[in-house]
Amino acid sequence: MQRLRTMLPLFASFRGRKEKSFRRRLGIAGFTLLELFIVLEIIGFLSTIVMSNYYRSKKAAQVAVTVQNIKNVQIALTSYFAMEGKFPASINTIWLDFYGGRVPVDVEYIGGATAGNQDGWDFFMSHSVDIRFNGPSQTEYAMRSKENLLPYALYVYGDAATSAKIVH
């Protein structure tokens, strides 16, 4: 009997919950619209942060790859100049000789016979003393990136006198 008296309050509280559990089994209970909107806003905010960081790191990596490509081309051009005594008219020549025909697609080049007429490039004065924008002569070359590297760089530039430079 004593045991029954101690369990009686449990049964009384269970009777009130009986109605709620019945409604849940029917699928009537759920989240409110306000709760769903708050969760969607939190997910949207977090995805915005993740996507902006992804975009920034992707552009920074693209700038680094372009700088490295120009440095690789400069090494190949120096090797070509040491063997031939002049710079080639196009990058394709050195890539066929040194790298088995792979051509860098993100770099524009002026050199050798095409250096005198600047091949349609518009050279302009720079704020940096390291970069010469007056254009190469017949015995020089110049390179720049063709890719859109904004917001990190306007483009990447390299010539015989400088290493690959990022132009802002």
Q: What is the mean pLDDT of the chain?
A: 76
Strand-pairing partners, residue 143, are 109, 158
More confident residue, 31 or 43: 43
Per-residue pLDDT for 40 more than 90? yes
Better pLDDT: 70 or 121: 70
Query: pLDDT at residue 132 above 70?
Result: no
* Nearest-angstrom CA–CA distance, 64 and 78: 21
Domain limits, the chain: 61-167
Which residues, in sequence order, are CB contacts of 123 under 8 Å at separation 6+?
133, 134, 135
Position 146 confidence tier, pLDDT thresholds 50, 70, 90 = confident
pTM to 2 decimals? 0.64
User: How confident is the model over 86-114, as a mean pLDDT?
Assistant: 74
H helices of 27-140, in order, are 33-84, 91-98
